[in-house]
Structure 1
Amino acid sequence: MTDKLPRRTGGDGDGPDDTPMERLLREAMNARAMQITAHDLRPAAPPSRRLRRLKPVYLAAVPLFGLAAAMAFGVLGFRGDTVADRGDPGPAATVTASASPSPSAVPTVEPTPSESPTATATTTSPTAGPTGGGTTEAPVGVPSTTGTATTSTSPTAPATPYTFRGVKLRIPEGWRAVTEGAQGIRLCLLSPGAPDGAAFNDCSPYGAELTVYDAEPVTWPSTGDLDASGGWGHQPNCPVWGNPHPADGQLKSVGPAKSTVTVAGRPARKSQWQVTCNAKDSFTAQMWVLPKDQVYVSAIGLKADYQSGLQAIVNSLDVSGHTSPYANDVSASVTGLTVGQKVPNDGTPVEFAVTFKNTGKTNYTATKAVVYADPYPGAPPGVKRTSTLDRRQGGAWSPMELWGLDAFSGLESGLPVSVAPGQSVTVNYRLTLTPDYGPGTLPLVMRLEVPDGAGSFRLAGEGTLQIQVVAK
């Protein structure tokens, strides 16, 4: 009697060499397999969650478990041909072709840029216009021409340097300069929108006019025009853009709106008017002046599209090379009257003297001493004046015009004097005020003027004294 059953030495596990235990196990398994039919089989269910990627340790462990199982089967000696062949099930899609998956199980496909024809066309077609529904893209390194980038990134258009009567300026691109004549004091800067063939006479409304005086002006424009309701022009015209025509007596002005600005690094004044010609025609008028230099820029009816070019012209002015009509090398001082002195309007004469002193190096041999009263609220215009201003000459009093003296009357009534450098001359006056000069602050103006022989003059010196007119 032996301790162990004899080993089988041959066959394929189905022969007489099988041990009794192997035969019993095989018969039991065959009996169980015979009980399984096709109805007991069902398709594999699709996965209900995403497959997780096995960690490396799992990937290494799975073959080891398989190897151990194979070894166990080899030891037991199971026959594989008598058991149902269960291979790996196919993909879920091949089994569940007739099934209707839930919306949550339907994957979302997101195409990559390389798979999208639209994206490719947008990126590679920079010339696509807006009508095509695409986005126009600028080449790399070129500023975009869409949105607000056009204004901020576009280069500044070049400007042309220009000099007129000693005044330097820069003319924007597209503008052109036209003079009124060989000896003219006015320069017209026609805008890019001016009609073909436009000339100096077309400056209003198609351009801006630069006026440079060598002497104080007696024609338009003047500093007084900046304060007048109709100071924007000197002719009854209606310079409407595209249709300039005579005004036909229907002009109406609103303004001027006045402001103090800085031009060429100097204090300047600006006035602006809104003008209507009739029920349908209207325009804007603008005027700048450098009072001490007598340099004017006016734009009457210029289209708003060219406002930036106009402002660039004004900002570019350089008057350092222009000789001012106001030398201001002669001072004017007053004795007999003081600043703020009360003067009654009851006809009482008040005598005073004005001394003009030459503080410069120019020898003024042909000048005129002029004194007059500036307008003020206490003396409204259109009233016949009985107040007088007299000048003492040769021991007698000579009457002068007191109210609102203009350039021509100033030259006509001025006293001829000569003042050498470092010298002075004194002129005596008598002021008599009556009730036509009401209460208020009255400015007395004293000037030494140099006539130019053509009705204009250059100012050698100026002074102002303000007195208080009181009612009696």
Structure 2
Amino acid sequence: MTDKLPRRTGGDGDGPDDTPMERLLREAMSARATQITAHDLRPAAPPNRRVRRLKPVHLAAVPLFGLAAAMAFGVLGFRGDTVAEQRDPAPAATVTATASPSPTASPTAEPAPSESPAAAITEASAPAADPTGTGEPVAPAAGRTSSSAPSATSSTTAPAPSTPYTLHGVKLKIPDGWRPVEEGPQAIRLCLLSPGAPDGATFKDCDPYGVEVTAYDAEPMTWPALEDLDSSGGWGHQPYCPVWGNPHEVDGQLKSVGPAKTTPTVAGRPARKSQWQVTCNGKDSFTAQMWALPKDQVFVSAIGLTSDYQAGLQAIVNSLDVSGHISPYANDVSISATGVTAGQKVPNDGTPVEFSVTFKNTSKTSYTSTKAVLYAGPYAGSPLPATAETSILDRRQEGAWYPMVLSRLNRFSGLESGYPVSVAPGQSVTVNYRLTLTTGYGPGALPLVMALESSDGNGSFRVAGESTLQIQVVAK
């Protein structure tokens, strides 16, 4: 099968043989097209999708067919062969498109397979779409081969839903799926049972299936307390093995490693945290964690909670707001001592030391049912349990000295034997003491704690003010 038209015997050999009229038309159009520059083209509208390749030569040539045909009739008198053989190549068009404020993009033509690369706008030289919405073109990054700007993706995860809750003025948020259970009416303890807790779980199942929050409004007399954070067994308040999925009474040995202590910031305040690793019966193991806000007497504990709910536990701790909680330590009363100073040497040979303690009410609250309390904190020379406490603390009243009952080991005076005082706002009261130490108290720095406390009549008490003074016990 042969071509319908014989191929050219001369020229560039890329098409059928032309008549003089066809060659004149083609040369006229080519000559006119080379005079069109980028500034003669209408600016392109900003793309609302991927920027497509343009064909500026074709776009400029289409409206010129009529003009080219007219010029062809005007040059019929010229010798066609001479004109047709002029082969000066036209310079390649270089076009830079600018964004238009028009909200819609003008349609663009896809390049034909035979399109010359020099005559088309490549994606690398085309401006990127305006990501700011200002209408200003954005130049493509160097070496980029795509005109579409990378889509911005956010790595921020929306917080899980939570429910607000208030326990004795302590505000917190309960994570989605957790369930609050209070210990009882007017309770100071709240258990937040995790989503993995068994159906029908109650407050007594908080270990290991939940997180316990305790908010004291009086001096704590039970677990948890600040001293528990320093104890190797401070995580537990009874012989129990709270293993996830199998909590049971201890029928063997408990081995506790810790506590590992840290000092995080909770609710914008300095806090303490202790963590233990515990093994029951040599096989079952669990982790115990406890946070404490010392000045507010607020505690959070998670004993045996599986690591699957660690994020929920931390979210509960992070949500604490204690600004509305009334601390058992009001610090409404300032306390100062006269006759004894910090670091003063006190012999343990029975020599009496007289001093006085002044309690001044710096608040607007009137304290009418309080007691002045004085006791010795534990130290290296504390008496052994088997040692008889022969030391004496006397209180002077109406010109005479009256011995005070020792309430328990290492304490000179408990609340039950404290001296009743009343102090109005802005007023002060002074109590005189005489301390006589014997050999039961060994050498060391003995903390002398002075406090003004009140009782609620149910075994709990509130501290209106407290101060500690260390004296140096010297052996004689």
Q: Output the TM-score relative to the length of structure 2.
A: 0.65
Shift of 1:248: 2.8
395, 399, 403: which one pairs with 1:398? 403
Shift of 1:218: 1.1
284, 295, 319: which one pairs with 2:287? 284
CA–CA separation in structure 2 for the residues paired with 1:236 and 1:250:
10
For the structure 1 residues 279 and 423, does the alpha-carbon distance in structure 2 shift closer, same or farther, using more than 3 Å as the test?
same
1:233 aligns with 2:236: yes
CA–CA separation in structure 1 for the residues paired with 2:291 and 2:163:
21
CA–CA separation in structure 2 for the residues paired with 1:201 and 1:396:
50
The equivalent of 2:312 in structure 1 is 309
CA–CA separation in structure 2 for the residues paired with 1:419 and 1:455:
22
For the structure 1 residues 380 and 405, does the alpha-carbon distance in structure 2 shift closer, same or farther, using more than 3 Å as the test?
closer
The equivalent of 2:422 in structure 1 is 418
The equivalent of 1:330 in structure 2 is 333
CA–CA separation in structure 1 for the residues paired with 2:151 and 2:199:
38
CA–CA separation in structure 2 for the residues paired with 1:427 and 1:460:
16
The equivalent of 1:446 in structure 2 is 450
1:266 aligns with 2:300: no
CA–CA separation in structure 2 for the residues paired with 1:249 and 1:355:
52
Please give the secondary structure, in 1, of the residue aligned with 2:317.
helix
Q: Mean Cα displacement is larger for which, 173-182 or 433-442?
A: 433-442
Q: May I ask how many residue pairs the two structures share in their alignment?
A: 333
Shift of 1:461: 0.5
8 Å CA contact retained: 2:394, 2:401: no
CA–CA separation in structure 2 for the residues paired with 1:422 and 1:428:
20
CA–CA separation in structure 2 for the residues paired with 1:205 and 1:252:
17
Please give the secondary structure, in 1, of the residue aligned with 2:308.
helix
CA–CA separation in structure 2 for the residues paired with 1:383 and 1:232:
28
**Residues 74-89 of structure 1: pairs in structure 2 closer than 5 A:** none
Shift of 1:246: 0.6
C-alpha distance after superposition, 1:24-63 (max 9, x if no partner):
xxxxxxxxxxxxxxxxxxxxxxxxxxxxxxxxx99469x9
C-alpha distance after superposition, 1:216-271 (max 9, x if no partner):
11111111222222221211111110000111352232222222221101111112
1:196 aligns with 2:199: yes
8 Å CA contact retained: 2:259, 2:276: yes
Question: Which one-letter code corresponds to 2:179 in the other structure?
Answer: R
Shift of 1:374: 0.5
Shift of 1:403: 6.4
CA–CA separation in structure 2 for the residues paired with 1:188 and 1:366:
34
The equivalent of 1:86 in structure 2 is none
383, 386, 395: which one pairs with 2:390? 386
Shift of 1:313: 0.4
155, 164, 172: which one pairs with 2:175? 172
8 Å CA contact retained: 1:390, 1:400: no
**Residues 131-280 of structure 1: pairs in structure 2 closer than 5 A:** 154-248=157-251, 250-280=253-283
Please give the secondary structure, in 2, of the residue aligned with 1:305.
helix
C-alpha distance after superposition, 1:320-352 (max 9, x if no partner):
111111111111110110111111222211111
Shift of 1:391: 2.2
For the structure 1 residues 413 and 249, does the alpha-carbon distance in structure 2 shift closer, same or farther, using more than 3 Å as the test?
farther
1:470 aligns with 2:474: yes
**Residues 58-137 of structure 1: pairs in structure 2 closer than 5 A:** 59=12
For the structure 1 residues 383 and 227, does the alpha-carbon distance in structure 2 shift closer, same or farther, using more than 3 Å as the test?
farther
Shift of 1:367: 0.3
Shift of 1:392: 2.4
Question: Which one-letter code corresponds to 2:268 in the other structure?
Answer: G
Shift of 1:286: 1.2
Please give the secondary structure, in 1, of the residue aligned with 2:454.
strand
Q: Which runs of 5+ in 1 are unaligned?
A: 1-56, 65-139, 144-148
Please give the secondary structure, in 1, of the residue aligned with 2:159.
coil
Shift of 1:419: 0.8
Shift of 1:437: 2.1
433, 436, 445: which one pairs with 1:432? 436
1:372 aligns with 2:375: yes
Q: Show structure 1 runs of 4+ deviating over 6 A.
A: 140-143
Shift of 1:371: 0.3
CA–CA separation in structure 2 for the residues paired with 1:302 and 1:440:
41
Question: Which one-letter code corresponds to 1:401 in the other structure?
Answer: L
C-alpha distance after superposition, 1:422-459 (max 9, x if no partner):
11111111222223322221110000001111110111
Percentage of identical aligned residues: 73
Please give the secondary structure, in 2, of the residue aligned with 1:435.
coil
8 Å CA contact retained: 2:404, 2:417: no
Q: Output the TM-score relative to the length of structure 1.
A: 0.66
8 Å CA contact retained: 1:178, 1:200: yes
The equivalent of 1:46 in structure 2 is none
For the structure 1 residues 272 and 442, does the alpha-carbon distance in structure 2 shift closer, same or farther, using more than 3 Å as the test?
same
Question: Which one-letter code corresponds to 1:422 in the other structure?
Answer: G
CA–CA separation in structure 2 for the residues paired with 1:344 and 1:314:
47
8 Å CA contact retained: 2:253, 2:282: no
Question: Which one-letter code corresponds to 1:438 in the other structure?
Answer: G
Identify the structure with the greater helix proportion: 1
For the structure 1 residues 231 and 162, does the alpha-carbon distance in structure 2 shift closer, same or farther, using more than 3 Å as the test?
same
